[in-house]
Amino acid sequence: MGHHGCCSGGAEGPRAALENAWRTVLLHQFHDILPGSSITWVHQEAEREYARVAPTLDGWVLTNRHVRVTIDPDGVFSSIYDRHANREVVPIGARANLLTLHRDTPTQGDAWDLDTPARPNVRGSH
């Protein structure tokens, strides 16, 4: 959406700033960083880079021919407007795109399988 859509927000060339931030985020999504199996300096560099690009992502409105999405400074969607149906998708007072975390302690079998008891213990990032 954002890469192909029209963007507004930020002080400098909005599309260039967003693309630069996006490339930085993608670079630091390397398969060893996400699960925590990289060496310490890799994680420290990723944290520094995320902190550097975070202000770039504050208060964006991303638009394409299908939707218009408003992103709050904390990264949560405050609005998703369906341009085909001409309606707001996010209920008034609600927000979307909230990251949820699940504790993964399998009762049997491999990891990556969230057992039913884990689901009631969902905690959001906000």
Is residue 105 in some structural domain? no
pLDDT in tens, 32-60: 777 777 788 888 888 899 889 888 877 78
Is residue 112 in some structural domain? no
Residue 3, pLDDT above cutoff 90: no
Is residue 32 in some structural domain? yes
Six-digit token pair at 66? Answer: 């299908």
State which amino acid sits at residue 53.
V
Is residue 123 in some structural domain? no
Is residue 116 in some structural domain? no
Is residue 13 in some structural domain? yes
User: What 3-state class would DSSP assign to 123?
Assistant: strand
Bigger pLDDT: 74 vs 83:
83
pLDDT in tens, 60-73: 888 899 999 998 87
Output b/e per residue, 103-121; b: 16+ Cβ within 10 A.
eeeeeeeeeeeeeeeeeee
pLDDT score at 69: 92
Is residue 65 in some structural domain? yes
Bigger pLDDT: 97 vs 31:
97
Instruction: Show the CA angle centred on residue 89, arms to residues 88 and 94, nearest 5°.
Output: 100
Is residue 115 in some structural domain? no
Q: How many domains does the chain have?
A: 1
Task: Please tell me the pTM assigned to this model.
Answer: 0.52
The parent domain of residue 84 ranges over 6-95
Six-digit token pair at 5? Answer: 């859509």
Cα of 70 vs its chain's centroid, Å: 13
Are the beta carbons of 2 and 67 closer than 8 angstroms?
Answer: no
Quick one: pLDDT band at residue 11, thresholds 50, 70, 90? very low
